[in-house]
Copies of this chain bind each other. A is one copy, B any other.
């Protein structure tokens, strides 16, 4: 029998983990502690000598003329690939000063992106400094930061949440705010800044990169694709981190509720999942668990809440009862799964993916790049074979007209009704509705046969599955 957590949480914790974690004394469960030392594999290309090579000049996702006007310095710049090199590659005698910021809602794996950046700089640019801006972009504007050290970073390895430096939803938008960011960059003598965030945060990262470049400042900016919603993705950025873990947490809960439903036959369960406009989470969970009915917002106008849906069913069945066409009993149970998933312990996939994203961001900064989003590909293959590079953020952009002005945006990737994941779902839909084909994925495993499974959406999109 393993000892229980309460007792040795207090006792042995101080021995293995620094007691002061981000200003808070953290008590770790046995599983959290065991995850700290989980070894993270790296894409092979990042383990030896490499160089960063440029591709062809890029354009924009839409309205290139407007994007060119909004990003006069950066528009058109090529995306980059990290490739093996015979010679020593990037200079190892550089000492970089790099800031990192978490922007927006939590997603499992954020801490590992930071660890990746930190480890890259430790390994390849010895003597470098990493600053963690606290509480999101506001930390940049107010120059609120903490210097990240080995000891400081260590307890957060492979851990969920964003509590190492916390996040925030402020944006750097107005001329005054850009000025504040410049002052911080100058004060800390920043060579680089890594912005870990969703579509909006990466758009802002690019505006910041453009602004620094236009002022001839040396500070370069690299983005990293974060969001459990899964709506920040494209060919070069096949997944945003956190999606894999969050979906698996929700799928565990849905699967359990399904087993419950099958055992009692007493309730009809209605589950709402966290998310904004895009329905990737819902589609992924449907593929993982096979509920009878799944509403995909991109296909049908989304119904407001699971409770309203229950009311609608009740109203309809009462009508049918009055007409004598329905005699059964309907009991609805509503669920909302949200906060439970976005701070879960990262899956092995998210842990490795985030670490690679951070490591790649370090390499891109090291090679002098700016205005790119860290891009790790070939994700259906073993980690060693993953590809690494940076995609020009301007290449992902289009414009939207707001208050009579063009604003750059990275368009949210919605569920494509012609894409492989939706088509797979649609092909099963009729059968799922009438028969109970429930699947219960169970809890996320870190060791054993399912520990390295990847979400269905990614596999289907990458065509790795029939």
Contacts and interface: CB of A to CB of B under 8 A. Distances in A.
Interface of A: 1-7, 9, 24-32, 34-35, 106, 159-163, 166-167, 249, 252-253, 255-257, 259-260, 262-265, 267, 269, 287-288, 290, 333, 335, 339-345, 380-382, 424, 435-450, 452-456, 459-460, 464-466
B161 A263 contact: yes
Given A2-B449, A253-B340, 5 more contacts: A6-B456, A29-B439, A31-B449, A446-B448, A448-B448
Copies of this chain present in the complex amount to: 2
Contacts of A343: 256-257, 259-260, 263
Given A25-B435, A256-B340, A344-B256, A4 B263 contact: no
Contacts of A424: 6
Closest 3 pairs between A and B when the two form their complex, measured CB to CB: A443-B443, A161-B259, A259-B343
A198 B252 CA distance: 26
11 contacts: A4-B456, A29-B440, A31-B441, A31-B445, A249-B256, A253-B253, A256-B339, A256-B343, A257-B343, A263-B343, A345-B443
Given A161-B262, A162-B263, A448-B446, A440 B345 contact: yes
A445 B442 contact: no
Given A5-B456, A256-B343, A380-B1, A32 B442 contact: yes
Contacts of A263: 106, 161-163, 166-167, 343
Contacts of A449: 2, 30-31, 34
A167 B259 CA distance: 13
A22 B195 CA distance: 53
A189 B354 CA distance: 63
A288 B161 contact: no
Nearest to A448: B447
Contacts of A439: 5-6, 9, 27-29, 32
A134 to B, nearest CB: 12
A453 B106 contact: no
Given A28-B439, A339-B269, A344-B256, A262 B6 contact: no
A1 B167 contact: no
A29 to B, nearest CB: 4
B1 A466 contact: no
Contacts of A333: 339
Nearest to A444: B443
Contact of A29 (B167, B441, B452): B441
B4 A459 contact: yes
A335 to B, nearest CB: 8
Contacts of A162: 263-264
Contacts of A339: 256-257, 260, 267, 269, 333, 335
Nearest to A102: B263
Contacts of A269: 339
A247 to B, nearest CB: 12
